[in-house]
Amino acid sequence: MALVSHLAFSETDVEADADVIVVGSGAGGASIAVHLARAGVRVLVIEAGAWRAGSDLPSSAYGSMRDLLDNWASNLTMGRAGWPIVQARTVGGTTVINSAICVRTPADVFARWQAETGVGGGLADRVWAHQDALERELSVQEVPAGAFGRSNTLATEAATALGWHDHAMRRYVAGCAGSGQCIQGCRALRKQSVDVVFLPEVRARSGVVWSNAPVDRVVFERGRAVGVRGRFRDPTGRRGGRFVARAPRVVVAASATHGPALLRRSGLRGAVGTGFRAHPGSGVIGLYDDPVDMNTGATQGWASMVMRDTPGLKLETLALPLDMLASRFPGFGAAWVRQIAQYRYAAHWVHAVRAESVGRVWSGPFGQPVVWYGLDKADMVRMRDGVYAVARLHVAAGARAVMPGVAGVPGVIDRDSVGILADGPLDPRAYTGILSHLFGGAPMGADPRASACGEDGAVHGVEGLFVADASMIPSNLGVNPQHTIMALARCVGDGILARA
Amino acid sequence: MLWGVPRDAPLPGRRGGRVNALIRHTMCALIPSGGALPGVAECGVDAWIVRFRAETSVMMWIGVVAGSVLFVLTPVWTLGLPVPSLWLGPERLDAHASRLGASSIYPLRQLVLLVKMMACLCWGVDPRVRAVFALAPYPPDPGTWRS
């Protein structure tokens, strides 16, 4: 093991050994790493992105895309519509750029896993126990009233008017200042992202973090994973030395896209790359008579699960920065200028579809993940219902008009005409959608022919290789996934400790 | 001047300068000034394009170039005028932008939207723009990382 606890780059070749190698430093990777480190395991965390903390974090959306998002968020789904796949490439992973929303894994999810994949005997209790601990460690609390802001308040009023059950979000935030900078990374360090909380602890417990170190392959010897290899590459594209890390156990926690792509590059087949799922979503802008100033207050503070089961939607507020949201205002040229002039009067709320459509992940010619994914008709109906539901919320909150961002319907719809969205198009190309919550690609299950790993994360048929992130989740959750990912990763860690 | 771009602007060569000028033309057509709001042309777009070209991914750059080239070549389709958009007056340029952006052809619409998105990244950080919306100026993006 190297003497330094963080190696950001090396011009020369590097070799190291550890008890466990964790590929990826996001919600899953950092959670299992700190769990193992606390048990005295020598952990080496290897992250493709750079470590940007506090004063390194960008302010603008441009800076966020350049410094934090994977490939400038230009990874698109292959299918009928090319929707951006939003995930981070930085130490801390997507926990650096998300809104730190904490939702416990619903019981129905475990019941479904057990029925469909044969996993889950006692898993729910273990996951929930870890979620108890995580909530204490990460200072989970409701968005304080002082950080709520007018956009979240309007959503609360709308839900009350409609009789929809709603709640203030619980988040991994210690004393939110309401700076509205979640997406650019919290410069105030209030958000308890794993780069702020877990990875420093890993280093303090004799663990090591390598950043700017994309892994090319998992290394196998006699059918057993024994390490990884790759080559340092810094954010400017400068190539450094090659690295080889060896350990008797390798944990892949590189996201639901990069993880399966890495495993396939490493020669694994079978169910690896299958079962990719997501929460596709889109946003609707409401225009109000009085200024909303949505960037004042928590980026996300309000949610409703009232449609989680039927039709399968989650509703949330989402205040995006001006430079990111401006292009969502309809029109081009002078027509766009007339619309963006109303920015202060706008609130942006979103829906996420609990989609049942399933895709695949491949490794592209340059090693990048290629995601084949499209929504079937039932999911497109949900997508349309989601746009309509958010538009109804805006109207209930007093919006005078909405901007649905749906091609084929007017860019601005007055409050009395939002009903036309109920009959909106079912073509995915008409929607300005994104994929934010990603699942599967190396799904867990009891049947090795239909799954990539067991519920302990152990990859079927390969000794010493584990999956511990969203890629092992075999179904859609219908809730924000970070809490589930972290707890599942710790369950995988429990299994590794039990085998040691 | 080369298509409105000063010859002494920090461009990466003549060919690169022309490509940058196409992007500038498209961005300025999509995000013009109006009322109290400056357009992207007044927000340092030339330097921004140079920086964007140096820093962005290959895929993103190809998309922006493709969107800009399409924008320049398609007035014959949107307006029935067989001229590049560079030759259009302000009103016709605006009509071209609106019609192309609302195209029923998905890849075309998405490419124009991509250029608009990138233009907004430049426009939305300008302190004068942010002041109009009562937003504080952004601190600079340090672009640094832990070593």
Provide the pLDDT for residue A181.
86
Q: Are residues A397 and A353 in the same domain?
A: yes
CA distances from B73 to A249, A437, B32, B64, B84 (A): 56, 38, 20, 14, 5
Q: How many helices (H) and strands (E) does chain B have?
A: 7, 0
Specify the amino acid at residue B41: A
* Options A35, A437, A460, A483, the catalytic residue: A437
Chain B CB contacts of A62 under 8 Å are: 52, 121-122, 125, 141
Q: Which residue has 């999810």 as its token pair?
A: A109
Q: Which domain holds residue A454?
A: 6-51+90-100+103-137+193-275+440-499
Q: Are residues A112 and A234 in the same domain?
A: yes
The reply to whether residue B59 touches residue A66, judged by beta carbons under 8 angstroms, is no
* Nearest Cα to Cα of residue A66 among A29, A92, A95, A97: A97
On the question of pLDDT at A279 being above 60, the answer is: yes
**Number of separate domains in chain A:** 2
- Please say whether the beta carbons of A353 and A428 come within 8 A: no
Average pLDDT over chain A, rounded to an integer: 96
Instruction: Considering only the beta carbons, identify the residue of B97, B109, B134 that sits closest to A407.
Output: B109
Specify the amino acid at residue A176: C
The reply to whether residue B109 touches residue A8, judged by beta carbons under 8 angstroms, is no
On the question of pLDDT at A3 being above 80, the answer is: no
Condensed to tens digits (0 to 9), the pLDDT of residues A87-98 reads: 999 999 999 999
Q: Are residues A132 and A146 in the same domain?
A: no
The reply to whether residue B93 touches residue A333, judged by beta carbons under 8 angstroms, is yes
**Listed residues A397, A412, A435: the one ending a domain:** A435
Rounded to an integer, the average pLDDT of A144-169 is 95
Condensed to tens digits (0 to 9), the pLDDT of residues A91-121 reads: 999 999 999 999 999 999 999 999 999 997 8
- B44 lies within 8 A of chain A by CB: no
Question: How far apart are alpha carbons B101 and A491 in whole angstroms?
Answer: 49
The conformation of residue A453, written as its DSSP 8-state character, comes to B
Rounded to an integer, the average pLDDT of A447-454 is 97
Burial (Cβ within 10 Å: 0-12, 13-18, ≥19) of residue A387: buried
**Listed residues A410, A435, A460: the one ending a domain:** A435
CA angle in degrees (0–180, nearest 5) for A351-A149-A419: 35
A410 torsion bin: left (phi>0), alpha (psi -120 to 50), beta (else): beta
CATH number at residue A45: 3.50.50.60
Is residue B74 one of the residues assigned to a domain?
yes
Alpha-carbon gap: A58 to the closest alpha carbon of chain B (Å):
4
**Number of separate domains in chain B:** 1
Taking only Cα atoms into account, the Rg of chain A, rounded to an integer number of angstroms, comes to 22
Condensed to tens digits (0 to 9), the pLDDT of residues A38-56 reads: 999 999 999 999 999 889 9
Provide the pLDDT for residue A11.
97
Q: Are residues A325 and A354 in the same domain?
A: yes
- B54 lies within 8 A of chain A by CB: no
Question: How far apart are alpha carbons A317 and B58 in whole angstroms?
Answer: 33
Instruction: Considering only the beta carbons, identify the residue of A235, A291, A323 that sits closest to B120.
Output: A323
Q: What is the ipTM of this complex?
A: 0.94
Rounded to an integer, the average pLDDT of A344-357 is 98
The reply to whether residue B101 touches residue A332, judged by beta carbons under 8 angstroms, is yes
CATH number at residue A337: 3.30.560.10
**Listed residues A404, A435, A466: the one ending a domain:** A435
Q: Which domain holds residue B128?
A: 14-132
Rounded to an integer, the average pLDDT of A293-303 is 92
Is residue B142 one of the residues assigned to a domain?
no
The reply to whether residue A74 touches residue B120, judged by beta carbons under 8 angstroms, is no
The residue of chain A nearest to residue B28, with distances taken between CA atoms, is A333
Is residue B8 one of the residues assigned to a domain?
no
Specify the amino acid at residue B54: A
> Regarding beta strands A167-168 and A302-304, do their DSSP bridges make them parallel or antiparallel, or are they unpaired?
antiparallel
On the question of pLDDT at A186 being above 50, the answer is: yes
| Parts of chain B with a pLDDT under 70 | 1-16
Rounded to an integer, the average pLDDT of A440-448 is 97
Tokens of B103: 């195209």
Provide the pLDDT for residue A145.
86
The reply to whether residue A336 touches residue B60, judged by beta carbons under 8 angstroms, is no
Question: How far apart are alpha carbons A128 and A178 in whole angstroms?
Answer: 29
Q: Are residues A11 and A121 in the same domain?
A: yes
* Nearest Cα to Cα of residue A328 among A34, A61, A22: A61
Q: Are residues A406 and A320 in the same domain?
A: yes
Q: Which residue has 């946003």 as its token pair?
A: A283
The answer to whether residue A437 is catalytic is yes
Find out whether the peptide bond into A311 is cis, omega within 30 degrees of 0.
Answer: yes
Is residue B89 one of the residues assigned to a domain?
yes
The residue of chain B nearest to residue A61, with distances taken between CA atoms, is B121
Provide the pLDDT for residue A298.
86
- Please say whether the beta carbons of A46 and A23 come within 8 A: yes
What part of A 8-27 touches B (C-beta under 8 Å)? 8-9
Q: Are residues A160 and A247 in the same domain?
A: no
- B135 lies within 8 A of chain A by CB: yes
Condensed to tens digits (0 to 9), the pLDDT of residues A195-210 reads: 999 999 999 999 999 9
Q: Are residues A118 and A247 in the same domain?
A: yes
Instruction: Considering only the beta carbons, identify the residue of B101, B129, B145 that sits closest to A8.
Output: B145
Mutation target to probe the A interface, by most A beta carbons within 10 A, among B120, B126, B128 is: B120
Alpha-carbon gap: B7 to the closest alpha carbon of chain A (Å):
27
Taking only Cα atoms into account, the Rg of chain B, rounded to an integer number of angstroms, comes to 16
Is residue A73 one of the residues assigned to a domain?
no
* Predicted TM-score (pTM) of this structure: 0.95
Beta strands, E only, A222-335: 224-233, 239-246, 249-252, 277-287, 302-304, 313-317
CA distances from A111 to A120, A123, A486, B43 (A): 8, 10, 19, 55
The reply to whether residue B142 touches residue A56, judged by beta carbons under 8 angstroms, is yes
Contacts made by residues A142-147, CB under 8 angstroms, sequence distance 24+ = A142/A168, A142/A169, A142/A170, A142/A171, A143/A168, A143/A169, A143/A170, A143/A171, A143/A173, A143/A176, A143/A298, A143/A301, A143/A302, A144/A175, A144/A176, A146/A178, A147/A176, A147/A177, A147/A178, A147/A297, A147/A298, A147/A301
Backbone angles phi, psi at A278, to 5 degrees: -160, 170
- A296 lies within 8 A of chain B by CB: no
Q: pLDDT above 70 covers what percent of chain A?
A: 99
- B116 lies within 8 A of chain A by CB: yes
> How far is C-alpha A413 from the chain's CA centre?
31
- B93 lies within 8 A of chain A by CB: yes
pLDDT confidence tier of residue A333, bands split at 50, 70 and 90: very high
pLDDT confidence tier of residue A2, bands split at 50, 70 and 90: very low
- B147 lies within 8 A of chain A by CB: yes
- Please say whether the beta carbons of A102 and A463 come within 8 A: no
Provide the pLDDT for residue B6.
41
Question: How far apart are alpha carbons A448 and A446 in whole angstroms?
Answer: 6
Q: Are residues A314 and A371 in the same domain?
A: yes
